[in-house]
Structure formats: structure tokens, C-alpha cells
């Protein structure tokens, strides 16, 4: 078949591809009309650097210490970082090293898609770092695909400047692997020392998921940092804006993308500060009972049961629904148990019984175990289990669960009775 025929065939195929890309094209109807285009350097201040791979542009903004963001200021981080955040940098802490603010690198990317994989490019890479009192934000930008190597080279120069802690939001599973991919794709070495990567998503989830559920950076900004973004571009539109720029080279629509990325980096600093602040003195800083429970759980994870029970006690002082109170008491009782504060634990379990609307064998079992194993008071243990069985029989619970619970309780009761009997014998013998 000659080339013309082949072309015909391809032509017939166009229809099909058209259908496939229709949805996509609806999103990116390119308007190529505008004549007065702007270049990137016209819309954001910055510099062009020369690299062995060609030129590369970066935007730069310097933020002075007196600049405030809502109730927050960037310089607060110095005060709060060490005490609170070291919980998430265990290796750092263990070596007893002290970190310097200048060694932290805040990092966020804007990409050509969210799917990941080697066809996703980083077209804007924002980095934030402290120089003395000032905070610098540098945003490396590739104005076309061929500038990627220059961008990565430029970024590498910065990476080589002794940064020790990388701070990101979801960077462990997204930005960082993507960056590694890009260096492999362009066959360049990768100069970032990554032994300390603080991905704020993890502490954020631990601290606020219980209360907020939605832990996207945008929601955390709104709910925790109380920051409002004005005229922010939604993340899912960003690839389309960039693709459009590639075709018409008009940088104006990119301005909100640069602003978006800048705000992300500022939020990283503010969020890191807030996390440090909250963990340094939760009892003072935190008013929400759910947050206090979350913090209690964090300390529990670090086996500081004394502190975690304090958090729960504080939470219990808040105005709680019965359900929330039961949940908090449960956490609290566990912390008491771990500290062998049996009296307090017993009180908590009893409170749970009186507050619970629905039956659960849990507090009865805990009490029974306590009387059986700690106090060796088999009579008490017996009557607790009997009370549980009595209540279980009255409850309206689905069959299989009920059977399961009853089996466990019966089993426990039988054992306690055996022990009681044996004790009776040994008493009478004695």
C-alpha cells in the first residue's frame, strides 16, 4: 500500500481519535486569538540562569520576618520547630543533632498530571528556605519540555547547598518519587540528601483527621491555619493552563499557578510551625476535645501514657456528647491501665457502663479482668460478668454478634467460677 493510501487510512482514524479526545478538548479549547502575549519574566519577578543544558528561569520572592499571614508569622517557626516536630524526625532526634533553620528546604511541585508515571512532568518546582531572618521562595519554571534538563540542573545546584530536612505535603508518595523519575529520565545525578524527609501529611492526619476528615492542604489551611486564598486556581485545572501556555506562549494565565505554588510553600512553613506549637503545649494550645484525643493518641504511640492521659482528661472537661465521652473514656482508661493506675481505670470503665446507650461487652470484660487478675476478687469478677450477661440478654442485637459475645462471656464466667471454687477449696483446706 502506498503512502497516500496509508494517509487515507490515518485520516479515517482521525474520527476515532477525535471521539476519544473530545472530552479532553472540551476542557482545553485553545483560544489562539490574543496578540498581546506576556512572557513569564513579565508576570513574575525572577532571574534567568545559564546551565550546561541551556537557560532556565526562576521566579524569586523574599519574605521579610515582619510579614504576617493571618494570625501567623513565618518567623514563629524558629520557636516551635524543635520541641514539637522532632517527634516526626526520629533519626534526627536520636543522634541528638540540632537542626538549623537554614537546613530546612520546603518543597512543592506543579505537574502536567496527577496520574504519576514517566509521562508526568514537573513544570514548576517551588523551593522555600531561610537565609537569616528572611524566607526565600524560588520557583524554577520550564517554558517548554526541552528546558527540563536545565530546570533540574538548576534545582540540583540549590540542593547541593547543605539542606538536611526536606519538608513537603504528601511528598513521600507524590512529589519526591516524581522528582526522582525526572532525574532518571534526563540522566542527571540527583544531589538532594534525603535522609530526613518530613512529610507533613502524616502528622497532619494524626492531629486533625479525627475532627476534620478532609486533610487536603486546602482544607487544613482553612480549618487550622485560618487562611483564605483569594482567586486561587483549582489544582485540577493547572495542567490544562500549562498545556495552553505551551501552545500560545502567553504567560498571563500562569500567574495564578505561580501564586498557588507560592502559597503552598508558605503554608508548609505555617503548618510545620502550627504542628510544632500544638505539640509543644497541647493542653494550652488546643481547645477541641477531638484534637486532644488525637494528641493523646500521638503520645500514646510514643509510650508517654502519662501525658496522653492528661490530654484525655483535658478532653473530658469539654462539652461532649455521651458517645464522644465514652470514646474518650475508653482511650483514657487504656492509658491509666498502662500506667497501672487501676483505681482511675476502674472508675473510667464504670463511667463507660453508665454512659453507654448500647451494650458493649468491653467495659465489663475490662472490669472482670481487673478483678480477676489484679485484685483476685473472683466474687466481684463473677458478678460483673453476670451483670453483662443479664444486660446482653435484654439487648436487641443481631444474632451472630450476640452469640459470639455470649460465648466469650460464658467462657470467662466458667473460668472465674472454677478459680473461685479452687480458691474456696484452698481456703477451707488452709
Partner 1 sequence: MKCDVKSIIQELEQDYTIRPYLTALEYLPAQEAKLADYPGWLKPELINRLKEDGITRLYSHQVSALNAIQEGQNAVVVTPTASGKTLCYNLPVLNRVIREPESRAIYLFPTKALAQDQLRELYRLVEALDKSIGTHTYDGDTPVSARSAIRNQGNIIVTNPDMLHTGILPHHTKWHRLFQNLKYIVIDEIHIYRGVFGSHMANVLRRLKRICEFYGSKPQFICCSATIANPQELAERITGEKFTLINNNGAPSGEKYFLFYNPPVINRELGIRKSLIKETSRLVSKFLNHDIQTIVFARSRLATELLTSYLKDYFEKLGQDRDLVRGYRGGYLPNLRREIEKGLKEGHIKGVVSTNALELGVDIGQLDACFIAGYPGTITSTWQQAGRAGRRSHSSVAILVASSIPLDQYIINSPDYFFKETPESAVIDPDNLSILISHIKCAAFELPFIPEEKFGTEELEEILQFLEDKGILHFSRNKWHWMSDAYPADEISLRSASPDNFTIIDVEEGMDKVIGEVDRESVHTTIFEGAIYIHEGEQYTITKLDYDDYKAYAKKVEVNYYTDAQVESDIKVMDVFNLHEEENVYHQHGEIAITTLSTMYKKVKFYTHENLGYGKINLPAEDMHTTAYWLILAETFPQLVGGKIAPGAAFDLAGGLLALSNVLVNVAPLFVMCDPNDIKAVAQVRSPFTDLPTLFIYDNYPGGVGFSEKIFELRSKILAAARNLIENCGCDEGCPSCVGPINQVGKQGKQSALFILKEAIR
Stretch that binds partner 1, among 112-120, 221-229, 253-261, 363-371 (CB under 8 A): 112-120
Give dist(CA 357, CA 370) in Å, integer. 23
Query: Is residue 235 within the footprint of partner 1 (CB under 8 A)?
Result: no
The cell for 136 is 526565600
Cell numbers representing residue 388 in the block: 453483662
Q: Which is nearer to partner 1, 65 or 113 (CB)?
A: 113
Instruction: Say whether 1 sits in a helix, a strand or coil.
Output: coil
Q: Which DSSP helix (H) or strand (E) runs through 58?
A: strand 54-63
Does 50 contact partner 1 by CB under 8 A? no
* Contact region with partner 1 (CB under 8 A), list: 109-117, 276-284, 336-344, 399-407: 109-117
Q: Are 266 and 128 in contact (CB under 8 A)?
A: yes
Smallest gap from residue 113 Cβ to partner 1 (A): 3
Site for partner 1 in 171-190 (CB under 8 A): 177, 180-181, 184-185
Q: Between residues 2 and 396, which has the closer beta carbon with respect to partner 1?
A: 2
Binding mask 240-259 for partner 1 (x = CB under 8 A): x--x--xx------------
What is the DSSP code (8-state) at residue 395? S
x/- track of binding to partner 1 for residues 1-40 (CB under 8 A): x-x-xxxxxx-xxx-xxx-xx--xx--x-x----------
Residue from 39, 47, 118, 157 that binds partner 1 (CB under 8 A)? 118
- The x, y and z cell numbers of residue 411, run together, are 467462657
For the bound state, the minimum distance from the C-beta of residue 143 to partner 1, rounded and expressed in Å, comes to: 10
Distance CA 147, CA 124 (A): 11
* Grid cell at residue 408: 466469650
Distances (CA, A) of 258 to 29, 56, 108, 146: 22, 16, 11, 20
Nearer to partner 1 among residue 145 and residue 342 (C-beta)? 145
E-strand ranges in 113-191 read 122-131, 134-141, 165-168
For the record, the C-alpha cell of 175 comes out as: 512529589
From the list 62-70, 110-118, 158-166, 370-378, the region that binds partner 1 by CB under 8 A is 110-118
When asked if residue 144 is in the footprint of partner 1 (CB under 8 A), the reply is: yes
Distance CA 366, CA 336 (A): 12
Query: What does the binding site for partner 1 look like in residue numbers (CB under 8 A)?
Result: 1, 3, 5-10, 12-14, 16-18, 20-21, 24-25, 28, 30, 112-119, 121, 144-146, 177, 180-181, 184-185, 239-240, 243, 246-247
Amino acid at each position: 500500500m502506498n503512502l497516500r493510501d496509508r494517509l487515507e487510512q490515518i485520516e479515517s482514524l482521525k474520527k476515532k481519535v477525535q471521539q476519544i479526545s473530545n472530552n479532553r478538548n472540551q476542557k482545553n479549547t485553545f483560544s489562539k486569538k490574543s496578540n498581546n502575549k506576556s512572557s513569564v519574566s513579565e508576570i513574575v519577578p525572577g532571574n534567568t540562569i545559564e546551565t550546561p543544558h541551556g537557560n532556565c528561569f526562576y521566579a524569586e520572592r523574599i519574605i521579610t520576618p515582619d510579614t504576617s499571614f493571618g494570625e501567623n508569622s513565618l518567623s514563629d517557626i524558629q520557636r516551635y520547630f524543635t520541641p514539637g516536630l522532632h517527634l516526626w524526625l526520629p533519626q534526627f532526634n536520636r543522634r541528638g543533632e540540632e537542626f538549623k533553620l537554614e537546613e530546612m528546604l520546603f518543597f512543592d511541585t506543579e505537574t502536567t498530571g496527577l496520574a504519576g508515571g514517566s509521562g508526568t512532568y514537573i513544570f514548576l518546582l517551588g523551593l522555600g528556605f531561610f537565609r537569616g531572618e528572611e524566607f526565600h521562595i524560588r520557583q524554577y519554571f520550564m517554558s517548554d519540555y526541552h528546558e527540563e534538563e536545565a530546570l533540574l540542573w538548576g534545582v540540583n545546584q540549590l540542593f547541593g547547598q547543605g539542606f538536611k530536612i526536606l519538608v513537603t505535603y504528601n511528598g513521600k508518595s507524590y512529589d519526591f518519587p516524581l522528582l526522582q523519575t525526572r532525574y532518571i529520565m534526563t540522566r542527571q545525578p540527583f544531589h538532594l540528601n534525603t535522609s530526613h524527609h518530613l512529610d507533613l501529611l502524616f502528622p497532619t492526619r494524626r492531629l486533625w483527621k479525627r475532627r476534620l476528615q478532609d486533610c487536603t492542604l486546602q482544607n487544613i489551611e482553612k480549618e487550622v491555619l485560618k487562611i483564605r486564598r483569594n482567586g486561587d486556581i483549582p489544582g485540577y485545572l493547572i495542567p490544562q493552563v500549562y498545556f495552553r501556555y505551551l501552545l500560545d506562549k502567553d504567560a498571563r494565565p500562569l500567574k495564578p499557578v505561580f501564586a498557588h505554588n507560592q502559597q503552598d510553600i508558605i503554608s508548609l512553613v505555617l503548618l510545620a510551625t502550627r504542628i510544632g506549637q500544638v505539640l509543644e503545649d497541647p493542653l494550652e494550645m488546643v481547645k477541641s476535645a477531638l484534637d486532644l484525643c488525637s494528641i493523646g493518641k500521638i503520645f500514646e504511640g510514643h509510650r508517654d501514657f502519662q501525658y496522653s492521659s492528661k490530654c484525655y482528661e483535658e478532653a473530658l472537661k469539654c462539652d461532649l456528647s455521651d458517645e464522644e465521652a465514652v470514646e474518650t473514656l475508653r482511650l483514657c482508661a487504656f492509658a491509666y491501665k498502662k500506667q497501672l493506675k487501676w483505681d482511675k481505670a476502674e472508675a473510667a470503665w464504670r463511667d463507660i457502663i453508665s454512659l453507654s446507650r448500647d451494650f458493649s461487652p468491653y467495659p465489663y470484660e475490662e472490669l472482670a479482668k481487673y478483678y480477676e487478675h489484679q485484685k483476685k476478687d473472683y466474687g466481684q469478677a463473677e458478678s460483673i460478668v453476670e451483670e453483662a450477661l443479664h444486660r446482653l440478654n435484654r439487648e436487641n442485637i443481631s444474632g451472630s454478634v450476640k452469640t459470639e459475645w455470649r460465648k466469650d462471656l460464658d467462657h470467662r464466667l466458667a473460668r472465674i467460677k472454677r478459680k473461685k471454687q479452687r480458691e474456696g477449696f484452698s481456703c477451707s483446706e488452709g
